[in-house]
Each structure stands twice: as C-alpha cells, then as structure tokens.
A = this chain, B = another copy of it.
Amino acid sequence: MDEKELKQKTGKTANLYFSTVKEEEKPYHLWRYFDKELARDMSLYITGQMYSREKIPHKTRQLITVAALTVLSRPEELKLHIHAALNVGCSREEVAEVIFQTSIYGGVPATNTALSVLKEVLEERES
C-alpha cells in the first residue's frame, strides 16, 4: 500500500467510525497539539493500518474494542468506540451484551462503568 492509498484508507475509516463524535473529543487533535508529525504517524498506523484491515467485519471489530476498553476501564475512549460500534451497525443490545459478558473476566465494577457510558451515549444520540 503506498502512502496516498494509506491516507485515503485512514480518512475513510475515520469517517465511517467517528462521524458522530465531537471534533474536540477526537484524540487526533490532542496528538497534534503536542506533535504534528507524530500525530500523523499514529493516525496512519492506528486508523489506516490497524482499523482498516478487513480480516474481521467492522461490527465484530468494534464489539471487540468495546470489550477491551470495558475490562481496562477506559471510559473516555469507550465513549468514542461505542459511537463507532453504533455507527457501523451494532445494535444497543449487542453493545450492552458485550459489556455484560465481560464482567466475568474484568469484574462487575468495570462493567457498571461501561454501562453508564453506554447509557450516556444512547441518551446523547436520541436527543
């Protein structure tokens, strides 16, 4: 994949996932605030080279991300990826199910925090 193609893929995937996320909540801007070149490298790697891969469907990929962020208890990042999960077609029941299920591995408190984030995102999107 040449650089032009990588940039296109990055843009397309970013748009597919995060179109409903407020601009100022996107980590890319925080990275740029400190280092523009590194922000670009990170974005091309994470979004262009990792998220854009097609070995598993977008829906599965986002449910996996929700699972990882739930057990790690990273509520801010989880908010972005619950948006992404809903944007690629996951239902609220599927997202909730993943969060409930991971209570077995990461404990019930991490699940409770993640369910609060899901509730907040749903209310935001419905309003």
Chain A residues near B (Cβ < 8 Å): 27, 30-31, 33-35, 38, 41-42, 45-46, 49-51, 53, 55-56, 60-61, 63-65, 67-74, 76-77, 92-94, 96-98, 100-110, 112-113, 115-116, 118-119
What are the nearest 8 A-B pairs in CB distance? Answer: A77-B109, A74-B109, A68-B105, A34-B96, A55-B97, A64-B67, A45-B45, A67-B67
Chain A at the B interface: mostly helix, strand, loop or mixed? helix
* Cα–Cα, bound, A94→B94 (Å): 19
- By a CB distance below 8 angstroms, the chain B residues around A64 are 63-64, 67, 98, 101-102
- By a CB distance below 8 angstroms, the chain B residues around A93 are 34, 55
